[in-house]
Structure 1
């Protein structure tokens, strides 16, 4: 068993057995790394998985704590918290019966192949299915270029640590950006630079200057439904990023993790504009089916394939998960479920923005209009004490997420904002939650 899997199993056992109790702080990343004799990056990866499984949660500048499992189901109830913080999709919207059907069907179709470690026949079948599936998102690639991974975090870890043909080492990230990836980069002490991203997008002149420097290995970006901003790069920006990548021999890692939860008509990812094989497209299936499925796909330029395989050869994905996903896509359940999820989250986004217009007539909060995806952000007046605001809202049982963890530690040019998620927000209590946020902004300065 890999060290990462051993750590995960040990931590889950300690939580289940009561060694770590609900609300108790677990060892810090550095403490755990010393305890298990591994790198901090391995602990960051394990803790990220425990967060996905709702076993622990993080508090910025404080640490990781054990989730109160007994009270977890009360969160959306009448007297529970109004949850604007969760990054996991609403479990009540998952297709449990459909998934069970696909599981049974997978056993019928593949039989004993599902018990073989790393069965290449199943993998090849799914890759061909995904080649057709991804074409609906304007991602046209041969099956041989599609690598299966245990989610996007797994793919990012491989791409970050493996060498690239351009011989460069520095990774360029947006600020703000995906918090768990930023913590991984810091834990591994890798060379990192950044470019600011706002509701208006990114400065293309600055991006070109960064690319021209000759140091950038790859640029990590979320082209649509950005986490934490919730915004999408314009068509002009997406096309320009692809052209600049080819011009300066810089790779682009396009994280399209939220592709299935938004309107896809007319959207062309950066990958669709790539003419020089410099764009890597990442796709997750955790947000649309089950986080526990742990399956993702990386569409790679051909020069990267062998190196990627070499660095990922000891972390194969579950054959059973591959078979179930293949059946789920082929029988049309995936497309049907995606439409249902999109409608649910679009309705919640609409309620959120209607509530904001009604409850914030003074316009203290700046929020981009978002009709799709899980996230948006509330940009706050500079005079607001962000920590106090989050604390006071928690006392009122309104869970929100500070924007601070979505920046690198040494980035000082930070916007003051809350990341707002509609993922697990009770639609009937969204306005109540927005009213509380506006009221507490008044108490915390504006």
Structure 2
């Protein structure tokens, strides 16, 4: 009865408000209760409803009043057109992989793992401890906390060849996420009007970072074993490029994992041309049937610039990454990073270090491997059943994604729209190509939410594809 009485009071007061003027005082709670034969709690509930609807406002100790209607006008920002002048280059598009969606859709587009795949208990405890420590009120060193730099160096050194001088903390810079690191590395090695070689397809964020820096990209075809070695050697000779950007371990989007022999062959070509290999080890913690062995572990001549992020494997809220480099390049990178971000939050660094040095971190990674495998196989089965036209030519040994090729002539924008109307969000593959796409592709994330819905998502996707004839 209280809910019905409250709704009745709201209706009557709304009618009264419509016929009065802004600023008019409403009867007191006691008066309203007596007039409607209701209790004070019911009247207060009705008043809270009117406040939430923006019709009245309460003034403690004074009363409740009809809210004044503020005049609304359209802001004029036309002056900015002249002030900004000509646009400086094309506006970078928003990646479909970063799109935020509601929880009532089936999401296969994201580049991040689902929350249930993260070490939530470790992260919460680490942030609580960091908040109680002195780093909460201190400026972190511009190169990063020494303990965290040592951890990154030791992790890489543990995989280094016996004949290779292992990296040390002095070779490590801490970054606020790897994206800013990509821009800094590209600018330091090639700079505006410079040339870099890059795998094709490859991570869309690297393509965007190069565009923002003004560096030209020359695509190198990559296959199931890695980049075409002959094409790589020829491109270095023909372009004079200063570096080659690649993801040797569980590449995004293809899932390609270089063998040790292929990695050594690439490194030999890079050395022969006096260039750099920019190794983006984004999926280091996401092995399924293989382990990450960085190419940087085989290099002590400063040819490999190694990027390693904890953002995806620890928490999207902890944007902490590192770059490992040697020689004069390291000094140039330090100046670049310092100019852009000054330093990385000490709280985030301390929390990240806390998580990865807990014994439970290794246990978490072992369990993660099993979960990723189950999810990968579940999505593979769903695609084979419901979207047989989608060819997955490589079952990834790690990472978060499947790279599926669709029939030539598939209208990808239409497919994305039709799939969304059926409640499924996908990432079309064109943005992973630094030049013209070589086919119609989808990148499908098997680490996203609700794997039990993979079959339903694949069925909807299959229907959307079939609708194209």
Specify if TM > 0.5: yes
Native 8 Å contact 1:252 1:280 kept in 2: yes
Cα offset, 1:389, TM superposition: 1.6
Aligned counterpart for 2:429 among listed residues 403, 421, 438: 403
The equivalent of 1:393 in structure 2 is 419
- Give deviations 1:314-361, integer Å, cap 9, x for gaps: 31111111111222222223322222333222210011122233335x
Native 8 Å contact 1:174 1:194 kept in 2: yes
- 5 Å-filtered alignment, 1:27-426, equals 58=95, 67=100, 72=102, 74=103, 80-107=104-131, 111-119=133-141, 123-136=145-158, 138=160, 140-163=166-189, 169-213=194-238, 215-263=240-288, 267-274=292-299, 276-314=301-339, 315=341, 316-360=343-387, 364-408=390-434, 411-426=435-450
SS at match of 1:287: helix
> How does the TM-score come out when normalised to structure 1?
0.77
Instruction: In structure 1, list runs of 5 or more residues that go unmatched.
Output: 1-26, 48-56, 75-79
Native 8 Å contact 1:214 1:248 kept in 2: no
Cα offset, 1:120, TM superposition: 7.0
Name whichever of 326-335 and 282-291 sits farther off.
326-335
Cα offset, 1:100, TM superposition: 2.4
Native 8 Å contact 2:190 2:242 kept in 1: yes
Name whichever of 378-387 and 215-224 sits farther off.
378-387
Cα offset, 1:405, TM superposition: 1.2
SS at match of 2:186: helix
Cα offset, 1:187, TM superposition: 3.7
Q: 1:81 to 1:182 in 2, by over 3 A?
A: same
RMSD: 3.3
Native 8 Å contact 2:189 2:243 kept in 1: no
Q: 1:283 to 1:163 in 2, by over 3 A?
A: closer
Instruction: In structure 2, list runs of 5 or more residues that go unmatched.
Output: 1-76
Native 8 Å contact 1:393 1:437 kept in 2: yes
Separation of aligned partners in 2, 1:214 and 1:58: 29
Separation of aligned partners in 2, 1:295 and 1:364: 36
Q: Highest Rg: 1 or 2?
A: 2
SS at match of 2:109: coil
Cα offset, 1:305, TM superposition: 1.3
The equivalent of 1:15 in structure 2 is none
Q: 1:254 to 1:126 in 2, by over 3 A?
A: same
Separation of aligned partners in 2, 1:190 and 1:336: 41
Number of residues of Structure 1 aligned to a counterpart in Structure 2: 385
> How does the TM-score come out when normalised to structure 2?
0.74
SS at match of 2:372: helix
User: Does 1:428 find its partner at 2:455?
Assistant: no
Cα offset, 1:292, TM superposition: 1.7
Native 8 Å contact 1:375 1:421 kept in 2: yes
